[in-house]
A and B are shown apart, each in its own frame.
Chain A
Amino acid sequence: MSSAIGSGWETVIGLEIHAQLATRSKIFSGASTAYGAAPNTQACAVDLGLPGVLPVLNREAVRMAIRFGVAIDAQIDHQSIFARKNYFYPDLPKGYQISQFEHPIVGHGHISISLAEGEQKQIGITRAHLEEDAGKSIHDQFPEQTGIDLNRAGTPLLEIVSEPDMRSAKEAVAYARKIHSLVRYLEICDGNMQEGSFRCDANVSVRRQGDDRLGTRAELKNINSFRFLERAINFEVERQIEVIEDGGKVVQETRLYDSERDETRSMRSKEEANDYRYFPDPDLLPVIISDEDIAAIRAGLPELPEQKKQRYIDELKLSDYNAELLTANRDTALYFEAAHAASSDGIEPALLANWILGDLGGALNKAGMDIAASPIEPAALAQLVARISDDTISGKIAKQVFDAMWQGEGGADEIIEARGLRQITDSGAIETLIDDVIAANPEQVEQFRAGKEKVLGFFVGQVMQQSRGKANPGQVNALLREKLKPD
């Protein structure tokens, strides 16, 4: 977006995130929320909107929403109201969605994001409200007809609406990732973007730098990864600037992001949009939330990313950078903590962190795997790192051991033994190797003794080669210097 900023434009972005709450049953019925069942097998009479049925609120969904509210320091009112959002659509069984309009469960709050320069920026969260999801329309399975699958209908969603506080696609992604991380830390959403458990819509507008009025915005939908979020916003910003620079006007509309073409396309303009005729749902009583309820939920909050990061820096002496990376994702933090717990006292947490973020992270990335599914368990990685710390193997050999562990050849100790990788620290054995190398290379001995220091490297290399990498490099160095000294 440097081009936009360079040309005197400012981007303004607000996000609406739909996080599917990880309740076992639906928000207003007892049907299961599990993903992937055969169509319409998880839709009960209430989900189907049969005549006469009534919604009954799932208190767990309320508790999860408050958990989120407490974590973002939000205002939580003592009374929250459900409202009906009325519109016709085949996969919306009742002809209205039960949502919230006035008095959402979570009021104004905020969250900090880290910018590239290590700077923090606070993003306002306008509100977060509970609502039920709709079903799915299936357009590609029945020629000339549309299939309706209502398994998803009634799944609880927390819609998290930000202030228009973000100024670039990168900030928007940082914010979305932060919310994603938070809902997973809070264990209120599985965060699975492919299955649609975590969805982002972006409201994007542009304005001339220095202008304090907001430009007309477009709402971008159908974004199912952070990468696409960044691309969709960048495309949209360029498009809007082009429209205005060509003398046109941006229209307020909903635009779908097409990841294959990497562009956004108009879906419907707001002028022809529905009048949702919100009104309080008479089937549901106001939700009453006491100070005690909020206090109990606050007391039950897990350690949140910010607190974890600070603890890693203060107590485990990790760098700010590593602490940030380890805590950005709950599963990574859990892995690190499990590995740390499995380590004995002498193991530097920083060394563990380097292995998790370095070799393990790289291997997982390459395999396209989540850390939670890592073939190397935290305790196994801790054992490998312990072997480096106690000089059983060198860092270099450790990489070999790691690869073997990744391939499923067993634990670190097992592999070290089986392959005979234990580092040679017996100076007698190393001396024998050195003596052989010196005897075999009289010319180089002369050169070194004549003052050519560089030749030492050659000798180290030869000795290491003879030891197949197992000799302790420090010992080799010291012993060589001694032996090469002119008699």
Chain B
Amino acid sequence: MSYTVTEIRQGLAAGRFSSSEITRDYLARIAEHNPQLNCFISVTEELAMQQAQAADAALANGDTGLLTGVPLAHKDLFCTDGVRTSCGSRMLDNFIAPYDATVVERIREAGAVMLGKTNMDEFAMGSSNENSWYGNVANPWNTAHVPGGSSGGSAAAVAAGLAPAATGTDTGGSIRQPAALCGVTGIKPTYGRVSRYGMVAFASSLDQGGPLARSAADCALLLQAMAGFDPRDSTSSEIDVGDFSARLDQGIEGLRIGLPKEYFAEGLDSRLASVIETAIGELRKLGADVREVSLPMTGLSIPTYYVVAMAECSSNLSRFDGVRFGHRCADPVDLEDLYKRSRGEGFGAEVKRRILIGTYALSAGYYDAYYLKAQQLRRMIKDDFHKAFADVDLILGPTTPEVAFEIGAKTGDPVSMYLQDIYTISLNLAGLPGMSLPVGFVDGLPVGMQLIGNYFDEARLLQVAHRYQQVSDWHLQTPEAFA
């Protein structure tokens, strides 16, 4: 079962199947395969069937909502009214939000059916989905390998056909990297494009929600439902959203594409490089004008990111103190004990590591050397892109330096794990949109290609990805075990 959202919409409109039928099918697939893949933390069968029936009634009345009757899943970082939002953490294992995140609300209002909440690295901190209180997620292409992270559950669910699409969040690559590792299409919009209200914060100045799906066209549909100004998020943009699907069928003749020489240098697996070269060749054939650009600050993006993201997360995660919600230790003897044990028991090792580093970076006497310095570097990274975009319309490169690694291969070496994000992280620092689409395989595992756009230029990214997907079928492939 490898429906795209577009196909489901057509099938529903043509009456080939009902939302209830297709929702039941997906729920059955989840029941069958989730024990092996562990993509879902919560499956909301009852709610899904209710929503599907309501969608069928609406469809019968001529409802033409953007996503009416389309089943999909939410990363378990988006608050859902009445349904547990765990963030992959023991800390929030018992947390049921009394409200919907704006993204959840908008997708619901567009008529979609929620299948459940997907697994993720705890509080979105990780690149392998091995940091979840609910256990790691397996890559559907090879279940001994990681799906990437932190939106690993969403990517694996879409790849295995347990959901036609899912939401994700991206702080340093958390949509694009798992999309690449699982062979699906995912887009991280410009910072401010999608409301962060109700999206549990990891690093507020970097976090951005977006969709993972089987095609660029599907991503355009989902992003259309998700995006737009939200008065509840002061950092959301008032810039007009436009129609992400409008330009999909336009050609890309004359489009100037820049290849950052720093992305095709040491560190990139040469087999991935040649897969991407082939894809670039396709774009050339479609008329793109491909040239080299330079992003000299690329190497500094990882240390910059890890100061900014950890500083912000150390503060964002302070609210998990065992006082009002979330995990509280048993029988605290005093306030200090309540804090220490609740947080000590509630958070996993990677989260603790990041809180500690972030706390250190913000401490008196270190602030200037770390946090302020990182802010300066962040501006320089932005300037890098600004200069590059003076000459090109789009930047293109690999999404990751290698394909999905084996579960457990990097857990003892956080720095090597952090390096997985080398090509994705600078976009978050700059606030730029980026997307990953599948362009081939190495060792039977998918390779992702990343497209980087200028601010609020998502429509162009989607257009280029869609054009490529019209002349290729990598995005339509399904792992045999889940066909």
Contacts and interface: CB of A to CB of B under 8 A. Distances in A.
Interface of A: 45, 48-57, 84, 86, 88, 90, 93-96, 148, 275, 277-279, 282-285
Given A279-B371, A285-B235, 17 more contacts: A45-B98, A49-B324, A51-B79, A51-B92, A52-B197, A52-B200, A52-B201, A53-B198, A54-B233, A54-B234, A56-B232, A93-B324, A95-B317, A148-B323, A277-B364, A282-B235, A283-B201
18 contacts: A48-B324, A50-B79, A50-B98, A51-B320, A52-B97, A52-B201, A54-B197, A54-B234, A56-B233, A56-B234, A86-B318, A90-B335, A148-B324, A277-B314, A277-B362, A282-B203, A283-B204, A285-B235
B363 A277 contact: yes
Interface string B329-344: 0000001000100000
B447 to A, nearest CB: 33
Q: Which of A53, A84, A285 has the most CB of B within 10 A?
A: A53
Contacts of B312: 282
Q: Which of A49, A52, A90, A148 has the most CB of B within 10 A?
A: A52
B362 A86 contact: yes
A51 B318 CA distance: 11
Contacts of A278: 362, 367
B234 A55 contact: yes
Nearest to B100: A52
Given A90-B335, A277-B362, A277-B363, A95 B234 contact: no
B344 to A, nearest CB: 14
Interface string B101-131: 1000000000000000000000000000000
Interface in B212-262: 231-235
Contacts of B235: 54, 282-285
Contacts of B79: 50-52
Interface in B322-366: 323-326, 335, 339, 359, 362-364
Contacts of B98: 45, 50
A98 to B, nearest CB: 11
B264 interface: no
A277 B234 contact: no
B97 A50 contact: yes
Grouping DSSP codes into helix (H, G, I), strand (E, B) and loop, the A interface class, with mixed when no group exceeds half, is: loop
A392 to B, nearest CB: 63
Contact of B315 (A56, A57, A86, A284): A86
Smallest CB-CB A-B distances: 7 pairs: A95-B318, A282-B205, A277-B362, A282-B204, A52-B198, A51-B200, A49-B319
Contact of A50 (B233, B325, B335, B359): B325
A50 B321 CA distance: 12
Contacts of B99: 45, 50
B204 A279 contact: no
A284 B315 CA distance: 14
B196 interface: yes
Q: Which of B231, B312, B323 has the most CB of A within 10 A?
A: B323
A29 to B, nearest CB: 10
A95 B312 CA distance: 13
A93 B231 contact: no
A93 B319 CA distance: 6
B38 interface: no
A337 B108 CA distance: 59
A90 B318 CA distance: 11
A148 B359 CA distance: 26
Nearest to B323: A90
A316 to B, nearest CB: 49
B41 to A, nearest CB: 15
Given A51-B85, A52-B101, A55-B234, A96 B315 contact: yes
Contacts of B317: 95
Contact of B234 (A88, A96, A283): A283
A277 B326 CA distance: 24
A285 B362 contact: no
Contacts of A94: 318-319
Q: Which of A49, A57, A277 has the most CB of B within 10 A?
A: A277
Nearest to B339: A88
A275 B363 contact: yes
B323 A51 contact: no
B185 to A, nearest CB: 26
A86 to B, nearest CB: 5
A57 B97 contact: no
A56 B229 CA distance: 13
A243 to B, nearest CB: 28
Interface string B387-428: 000000000000000000000000000000000000000000
A258 B347 CA distance: 41
Given A94-B318, A148-B323, A51 B234 contact: no
A299 B231 CA distance: 30
Contacts of A283: 201, 204, 234-235
